[in-house]
Structure 1
Amino acid sequence: MGLRETAGALLALSSFGASSCTPGAAEVEQLVPRIVAVHPFDESSFTQGLEVEEGGTLLVGTGWQGQSRIYRSTLEGEELASADLDPSYFGEGVTRHGAHVWQLTWQDGVAVKRDAGTLDEIGRAAYPGEGWGLCSTGEELIMSDGSDQLRRLDPDTFEELGRFSVTLDGAGRSGLNELECVGEDIYANVFLSTDILRIGADGAVTAVIDASGLPNNAAADPNHVLNGIAHLPGTDRFLMTGKRWPDLYEVELAPAQ
């Protein structure tokens, strides 16, 4: 999401990091990403959404007022298509579902529906509250809004179907940001943190991924944080990056030592 780097948010999420490693939570795996390759990435992208399409191309949604867009590129960084978001909107998460793509806005309550091939806008839908992250399970969409709640949405109309809470050791966990749906699991970046959560179908966190070891080579700025996880179809690997990061890391997840 956008500009929320306040002392209060930092304090709240620092306590999150501590609780994610609480002794005795044996059922929650502690994982780290191991880098297997580094790919170039557009360092002008204030990354808010990241996906890998079935053909291997990247779908990237970016934020910042007046600069937000959605684009498609190869893993090597060649841009194939791009569409600007209305400059009055701050772009957020994106996801592809079949023949169309949805793109969130941060505080405007507008989801933009796009043709998956051209990325041209073909419709809009309204939703209450803020929009942060978005992914498709293949049956429905999952959306985050910065709270500990995830919304279930109709993939064609964007109508809300329900909500569920995300918990770690029985306590709700807020700050859920960019999302990735993989099978029955949902992966969520945690805002202002280098933690990524793996969330089961019941909303319980089943793994905490400590991505603090990934080099952040972006220009020094408190906004340039880790934000972006995408599964590579047909593999057990993921891509990870951040806001205005020049690098896209291809990683495997391994137990923390």
Structure 2
Amino acid sequence: MKKYNFLSIILLGITLSNCGDTKKGENSLFTFNKSEFKEKYVSDDVLKLAVLNPNSKEIDSIIYYVNDKKVGSAKAADQFTLALTDQKLGYQNLKALVYYDGENSEATARVELVSKVQPKLLKYKVLNTYPHDTLSFTEGLEFYKDTLYEGTGQKGTSYLRKYDYKTGKVFKQVDLDAKYFGEGITVVNGKLYQLTWQEKTGFIYNPTTLKLEKTFAFTKDIEGWGMTNDGKNIYQSDGTEKIWTTNPDNQQMLDYINVYSGNTKIKAINELEWIDGKIYANVWQKDAIAVVNPKDGTVEGIIDLSGLRKIVKNSAAEVLNGIAYNPKTKTIFVTGKNWDKMFEITVSE
């Protein structure tokens, strides 16, 4: 078994996929020639695109699209070669718009682009252990101006608080309306953002006073899970393999990446934290963190934190969830849902 497959099992397990399938309802007048399609592609590969013309129509030209973006054209039925270097990981939805006899028709198919990177198994060292409220169903964790902020879930008990992580003393707390299940949080441009799970609603607070300044609706029909930022854009997860890029000024969801560890799609991406240009991501139901390249979704490293679970004494403790980077100490703080402890760690190869 390859090393990256072993590491993928830590995160999720191997997901089988059916690659190269055409979309339902594809027009049968023209079809993609899939005889040279591979089961999976990596970014170094090239994709050879051509259509089959069983009715011998006189083709004028073909325009090719990948994920609804025009990538090139060919005269008549000539083959078109597409380099996959700049395509994001995941399924590539292919479309050929074929012009013939003054008319046009579409052919569709898809292929899967996976990561060529073998993720590294990273080491961690526990520097300190601090108390954590066992009633906190942790969904978001973040430092802002040397103060730790935490957002929690569960309807009726969701809240946002800031507190002294060394003692557990709460400085300020606001409780969410009972209809909301709180999720990830992040602070960017002097504003604190918080997601909700299935209500498709988010909140913007003053981080000093925790006064609610705005309620906003998601611009995509997704769930809200984890949240982080790079100082400019917000990144948020939705419980799938996707991490969305969001404009904090208008809350518009702009684009997304798909998270892959080797040839394995990693679903259930949860709490997020931006650390040194990478996204550190909890994976739901796994006591592990994936280190993700935000440009393309490649998992470059995996931190197996299952050993911390053995130190947690609370019998009601659930999965690892909660990552906060303290820029002052350059250390990472991790905890879990209803854990009685929070750990300050460093990570190395």
- For Structure 1 versus Structure 2, the TM-score category normalised by the shorter chain is 0.7 to 0.9
Which string of whole-angstrom CA distances, capped at 9 and with x for unpartnered residues, describes residues 108-166 of structure 1? 00001111111111111111221000011101000001101110001122111111111
Q: What is the aligned length? A: 237
The 3-state SS of whatever aligns with 1:213 is helix
* 1:164 equivalent among 248, 257, 275: 257
* 1:115 equivalent among 199, 203, 206: 206
In structure 1, runs of 5+ residues without a counterpart are 1-12, 20-24
* 2:121 equivalent among 30, 43, 61: 30
Partner of 1:98: 189
8 Å CA contact 2:118, 2:262 repeated in 1: no
In the TM superposition, what is the alpha-carbon distance from 1:218 to its structure 2 partner? 4.9
Amino acid of the structure 2 residue aligned with 1:64: Q
TM-score of the aligned structures, taking structure 2 as reference length: 0.64
* 2:289 equivalent among 188, 196, 200: 196
Partner of 1:217: 312
Provide closer, same or farther for how the CA distance between residues 34 and 18 of structure 1 changes in structure 2, counting only shifts above 3 A.
farther
In the TM superposition, what is the alpha-carbon distance from 1:15 to its structure 2 partner? 7.4
The 3-state SS of whatever aligns with 2:286 is coil
* Mapped partners of 1:80, 1:15: distance in 2: 37
Provide closer, same or farther for how the CA distance between residues 89 and 26 of structure 1 changes in structure 2, counting only shifts above 3 A.
closer
Amino acid of the structure 2 residue aligned with 1:60: E
Which string of whole-angstrom CA distances, capped at 9 and with x for unpartnered residues, describes residues 154-201 of structure 1? 112211111111111033211100000123200000000011000013
* Greater relative CO, 1 or 2 (CA 8 Å, sep 6+): 1
Partner of 2:235: 142
Amino acid of the structure 2 residue aligned with 1:254: S
8 Å CA contact 1:112, 1:121 repeated in 2: yes
Trace 1:53-132 onto structure 2 (pairs within 5 A). 53=144, 55-76=145-166, 77-127=168-218, 128-132=221-225
* Mapped partners of 2:117, 2:242: distance in 1: 24
In the TM superposition, what is the alpha-carbon distance from 1:49 to its structure 2 partner? 0.3
Partner of 2:85: none
8 Å CA contact 2:289, 2:303 repeated in 1: yes
Partner of 1:10: none
Partner of 1:246: 340
The 3-state SS of whatever aligns with 2:315 is coil
Q: Aligned Cα RMSD in Å?
A: 2.0
Percent of aligned pairs with the same residue? 33
8 Å CA contact 1:43, 1:218 repeated in 2: no
The 3-state SS of whatever aligns with 1:88 is coil
* Mapped partners of 2:334, 2:139: distance in 1: 12
8 Å CA contact 1:41, 1:247 repeated in 2: yes
Which string of whole-angstrom CA distances, capped at 9 and with x for unpartnered residues, describes residues 187-220 of structure 1? 0000000110000132101001100111452532
Partner of 2:322: 228
In the TM superposition, what is the alpha-carbon distance from 1:43 to its structure 2 partner? 1.6
In the TM superposition, what is the alpha-carbon distance from 1:234 to its structure 2 partner? 3.8
* Stretches of 4+ aligned residues off by more than 6 angstroms: none
TM-score of the aligned structures, taking structure 1 as reference length: 0.86
* Mapped partners of 1:16, 1:239: distance in 2: 20
The 3-state SS of whatever aligns with 1:70 is strand
In the TM superposition, what is the alpha-carbon distance from 1:16 to its structure 2 partner? 4.2
Provide closer, same or farther for how the CA distance between residues 15 and 200 of structure 1 changes in structure 2, counting only shifts above 3 A.
closer
In structure 2, runs of 5+ residues without a counterpart are 1-7, 15-115
8 Å CA contact 2:318, 2:336 repeated in 1: yes
* Mapped partners of 2:232, 2:10: distance in 1: 34
Partner of 2:134: 43
8 Å CA contact 2:117, 2:298 repeated in 1: no
